[in-house]
Structure formats: structure tokens, C-alpha cells
Chains A and B, each alone.
Chain A
Amino acid sequence: MSDRIFGALLMVLAAVYIWTARGFNPGFMADPLGPQTFPYLLGTVLAITALYLLVRPDPPAHWPGLRRLLEMGLMVLVLLAYAGLLEWLGFLIATMVTVAILSWRLGAGLKTALLTGLGVSLVVYGLFDIVLELPLPAGLLGRF
């Protein structure tokens, strides 16, 4: 079933991809192919492979349960928040919190997770900012 859904989605993607390519302006000193031919080819190959998935799907994939999926989604949100807040919070605070959460969800006890967060952020900071001289954002801590 997963393969069928995936195949159908890819069919749509291939169609949209090819349709969009029609609008590309070939330019006035064009080569014989222009900017649209290569996309046509790619879209066609994708459509053929997607069709194969629709017709002969593999045995279904084992997806995790809903609870686990939600939990993983939450971790992705944590990573996105890290990406978005890194500059404002600063490397040390953002990393400490993120690592602690990840480590906790990967099976560490609460105390171990907090210590891991602290340790990892300090070590990575030392290695990148001090040893390798790649400046990391200071954020909140930099304002004092």
C-alpha cells in the first residue's frame, strides 16, 4: 500500500514537473534543446518508475505506530526550533536544551540527559569556536 500511495504522489509530481517545464523561456540564442528538454526527460523517467510502483508494489513497509510517529514529529519540531532559534538563543543554550531533549528521548534518564546536554554543548563549543576558530553564535549570552 505504501508503495502505491508513493507511486501516485510521484505521478502527480512528474506531471506537475513536466507541466511547469512547458513555461520555460528558451531564450533568443537558444541551443536546440533549451531549458525544458532535460526536465521533460527526467519527468518521463520518473513517471515510468512511478507507474511501475503502482502496478507492482513491494511488500508494505513497517511504519511505526501513531504514538511513535507523533513523538518523532515532535523531535523534528525540536530540531526545527533549534535551527530557527540558534542565532537568538546562542549556541550554548540552544544546544544544551536540544541535546538534552534528544538524549532523553533516545533512552537516557532525565539527569543523564541534562548532563549530556551540558557536556556536549561545552565540548562542541570548545572544539569549534576555540580550537577550530569557527565562530558560533553567542546569542543571549553575548549580550552581557
Chain B
Amino acid sequence: METLGYLLQGFDVALTPMNLGLALVGSFLGTIMGALPGLGPANGVAILIPLAFSLRLPPASALIMLTSVYYGAMYGGRISSILLNIPGDEPALMTTLDGYPMAQQGKAGEALAISAISSFVGGLLSTVGLLMFAPLLAKFALFFGPSEYFVLFVLAFTTIGGISSKNQFKSLLAASLGLMISTVGLDPSTGEPRYTLGHMELYEGINFLVAIVGMFAISEILFFLEKSHTGKVAKIVVNKFKLSFKELRGLTGTTLRGSLIGFIAGVLPGAGASLGSFISYTIEKRLFDHKGTFGKGDPRGVAAPESGNNAAAGGALVPMLTLGVPGSGTTAVLLAMLMSMNITPGPLMFQNHPDVVWGLIAALFISNLMLLVLNLPLVGLFSKLLMVPTYVLMPVVAIVGLIGIYSISHSPFDLFMMIAFGVGGWVLRKLEVPLVPIILGLLLGQLMEDNLRRALYISNGNWSTLWGSPLCIGLWVMAIGGLVLPFFLGKFFRIKSKAEPEPQLED
């Protein structure tokens, strides 16, 4: 009941004209970014953060806009999956399996409509889940002391590679690189300069926005330059859809199951939207594919992954908001945005910034509805955007990224650093070292060190405090499980498909 009161306050925040407008802009941009191959939720949100920052949006408004982008990208990803057999972003990979065959049978309109509706249901149910579970988890997290937080961060790093990770060592390696970058600058408790190489510019540490935009936007451009896509323009036709109520009712079970699985996958560390859609699809296929129609244009094969990945997006916000520990790339980027505005997510955010939390949750309900309304009639327009050639899109991404960072600090030094991070990001992606753990390390490094030092300060230098409480031990067990399990389960969960995407950033 208490929650309902907060939610009403949240709607007060979300329903101001400015926030409604931002939600609409975010939903629209997000759908476009999701649809365009090469731009996904993580890098889409990343290039918009500097803008939100330099426009001095209040934190609640900025978060509303950027999570609308995130939800929107989950909608948009399906468009190119269905029409071109190219997933617009990684979570939309499974949608190609039945979506593209449907389009080939002249039922592109139906596939798009079904996927929009199941995306809506997935998004709606997971927002309800977020509403129910986030306050509970936040209350629970109030019991965390410095040792628990330190172990929680360890858990975040050992699971970020994901259960489907190919090489756990590479994601640990990436995490330690990110943490090492975060130690550059003045040590907050002693004022000792660390790893600054005598450069004054580095005393404040490396701005994580510079690193994120560099690694996400610039490295993407380098990938396109490497392949030098000649601007092939696809011809796209979308028919008018005809859906009967009966058909939709036949998909109810699939959509509900997909939403539930997706939400759980989103909340759990190490899973995320790609895995949510993968598991929803696989389970649906294993259990209900009696006539062998999956993979040949079965509408259920579109509804399952789409409800799954949208539900995972909401689920992934639960650990990010309540513990301050994101489980996926996009939520890590959203965390970066909050931290750049001096808000540290976690249980205290629920007490100190209730407007941000509840405004966000209310806004998610609204933007999900906006997305459904935008996506049913405007899908023709969005699919026209798929014809934007790479040679226009990628330079725009470069310029918006560079100018966004420039507008924060007006310093060419930051721009040089951003390009350097881009080149480094490209090399790492070529070596199949994931970038998301680096981002996470950069973001959490200072908090992690701070909690470690406080824990050891309280215990007078006795390291056993780190496994001194049942909660700590539980977290250690999960952390070690997250590190070891992929060696056994990895093959089973790894996403296989004919339409292999380019080396993508994780969702």
C-alpha cells in the first residue's frame, strides 16, 4: 500500500510536460537506435549521456529520457530482425528466427505488430515486477555494511561476463583493467596522486563518460571502417497487418511465460536481455513446438523472445537501482549517468532521492505505452530509417559523441583521450575482450576500494572480516559460482544462430 502512495507521487513527477516530452523523445530515439544495426541500447544511451549532462537536466528527467531510450531500443531491435534478418541489437537476435520467415511469407506487418504487442506486455509486466521487488531489495540492502558491499562488487565482476561467456579470464582481465583505470587520480582518503604521470589533467581521475563514449562510439566506427560497408540500400516493404483477437489470444500464454523468464533473467547477475530472449524462445520451442513450425515463421517464435527481452530490460533495473550494481552493459551506462550527476544508486537513493526512483518507475509505465502507440502505426516510418546508409549514420555518431563530450568540459584533452579509448576499445573487441567489465570497473572502482578500506579500518586490518557474516559468505558463494559455472554451462547457453551478428557490445 505504501508503494502505491509512492507510485502516485512518481506519476506527479513523470506527468510534468517536460518529463512527458523527454519520455516521448527518448522512446522515439530509442526505437531508431535499436532498429539501426550498429547502434544498440548501450552505445545509444552512451552517446546521449553527455547531452543530458550538459543540458543540465535534473537527474529524474535525465534518467526518464535515457531509460525510455533503453526500453525503446528493445522495441526497435526487432524491426531489422524481422525485415532484414539482421538483428538491430544483440537481444533481438532470436527474433530473426521466426520473424524473418514471417516477413518472407508476406506477413511482415503481422510479425511487427505481434512483436510490438508482446514487447509491450513484457515491458509492462517487468515494470510491475520492478515496482514490487525494488523496494523490498532496497530495504534488505540497508543491512549491507562495507564488507558486504565489497563482496557484492566482487560478485558483480565475476558474473558480468555472463553465464554464456566464452572466456571468463578475459572478462576478469577487462574488469581489472577498468578498476586500474579508476585508481588514476588523487587517492580520496590520503590525497596521494596515483598513476597521474605528473599530468595535472589526470589529478581528478579519468572521466568515465569520456571512456564510455570513446569505447562505445569510436570503436563502433572503426569496426565499420574496417569492413567498409559499401552503402547497400535494402528495399523494404511492410504490408498492412491484419490481426484477429483470436490470434492474439493464442499468444497469451507464450507472452506471459516469456515475460516471466525475461524478468528473472534480467534481475539475476550474469544473464541480461540477450539470454532472457534466448531462454524464452528455447523453452517455448522445446515445450510447445508440437508441429515443428518454429523457425518457419511461427508467431509464437516472435512473441516469446520479444516479451523476454523487454521484460529483461525492466528486470535489469532492479539490481542497478537498489544495489548500485548493474548486471548489463546498458544498465552500467545508466549508472554512469546517475554517478555523473552525483547520485549513487543503492538503498539510500530510495530514501534521499525518492523523486528519481518513483518518477522513473512511473515514467516507465508511460513510455512503454507511448512505445506501443508509436510502434503500431509508425512502424513503416521506422523501417524506412533502416535505409539510412552507414556512410551517413556513422559520421553522425562520431560527431554527436565528440561534441557531446566537448560540451561537458570544452577541453580538447578529453577528446584526445576519448579517441584513444576508442582505438583501445577496438583492439580489445578484436581480441574478444568484453568492454562492459571495463566500464563497470571504472564506475565501481572508487566505491569498491572505499568499502574495502572502511571494512578493514573497522576490523583493524583483519582480513577475515570480509567473510565474517553469513551474508558475506552467501555473496562469496554466488560470486565464485558465477565465475566457475560458465565453464560447465557455457556451451549450453551460448547463443547460436545462422544470422551471426558482428562482434557486438553486450546489451
Contact = CB atoms under 8 A, between A and B. Distances in A.
B432 A107 contact: no
- Which of B166, B415, B448 has its CB near the most chain A CB atoms (within 10 A)? B415
Contact of A49 (B169, B179, B194, B403): B169
Contacts of A136: 403, 407
Contacts of A72: 222, 225-226
Contacts of A43: 180
B275 to A, nearest CB: 22
Interface string B186-209: 010111101100000000000000
Contacts of A130: none
A3 B170 CA distance: 10
Given A53-B173, A79-B398, A83-B415, A103 B55 contact: no
Nearest to B454: A31
B461 A84 contact: no
Nearest to A51: B169
Given A58-B432, A106-B224, A106-B225, A24 B392 contact: no
Nearest to B227: A64
A128 B418 CA distance: 20
Given A35-B190, A124-B400, A134-B54, A83 B419 contact: yes
Contacts of A76: 222, 419, 422-423
B192 A24 contact: yes
Given A72-B226, A108-B389, A27 B191 contact: yes
Interface string B378-406: 00000000000111101110111011001
Nearest to B182: A42
Nearest to A91: B403
B192 A39 contact: no
Nearest to B228: A107
Given A24-B194, A79-B398, A50 B173 contact: yes
Contacts of A61: 430-432
Interface string A75-96: 1100110111011000100010
Given A46-B176, A53-B169, A79-B218, A108 B391 contact: yes
Given A46-B180, A107-B391, A32 B460 contact: yes
B419 A124 contact: no
Given A3-B431, A106-B391, A84 B412 contact: yes
B74 interface: no
Given A31-B457, A35-B190, A71-B225, A116 B173 contact: no
A120 B418 CA distance: 21
A112 B403 contact: no
The contact size tier of chain B is 35 or more
A86 B415 contact: yes
B255 to A, nearest CB: 38
B180 A39 contact: yes
A27 B180 contact: no
B169 A32 contact: no
B354 to A, nearest CB: 29
A24 B187 contact: yes
Contacts of B177: 46
A116 B392 contact: yes
A32 B461 CA distance: 5
Given A31-B457, A106-B229, A107-B390, A42 B192 contact: no
Interface in B454-496: 454, 456-457, 460-461
B391 A112 contact: yes
A42 B183 contact: yes
Nearest to B446: A38
A132 B194 contact: no
Contacts of B190: 25-27, 30, 34-35
Given A49-B172, A68-B226, A108-B391, A102 B192 contact: no
A142 to B, nearest CB: 15
Contacts of B221: 75, 102
A49 B175 CA distance: 11
A122 B225 CA distance: 24
13 contacts: A6-B431, A24-B194, A35-B190, A38-B448, A43-B180, A50-B173, A58-B432, A76-B423, A79-B218, A102-B394, A106-B231, A107-B389, A132-B55
Interface of A: 2-3, 6, 10, 17, 20-21, 24-27, 30-35, 37-39, 42-43, 45-46, 49-50, 52-53, 58, 61-64, 68, 71-72, 75-76, 79-80, 82-84, 86-87, 91, 95, 98-99, 102-108, 112-113, 116-117, 120-121, 124, 128, 132, 134, 136
Q: Which 9 A-B pairs have the closest CB atoms?
A: A32-B461, A83-B415, A27-B190, A49-B173, A108-B391, A106-B391, A107-B230, A35-B187, A99-B395
Given A46-B176, A83-B419, A98-B395, 13 more contacts: A3-B431, A26-B190, A42-B176, A46-B177, A83-B402, A84-B415, A87-B412, A98-B398, A102-B395, A106-B231, A116-B392, A124-B399, A136-B403
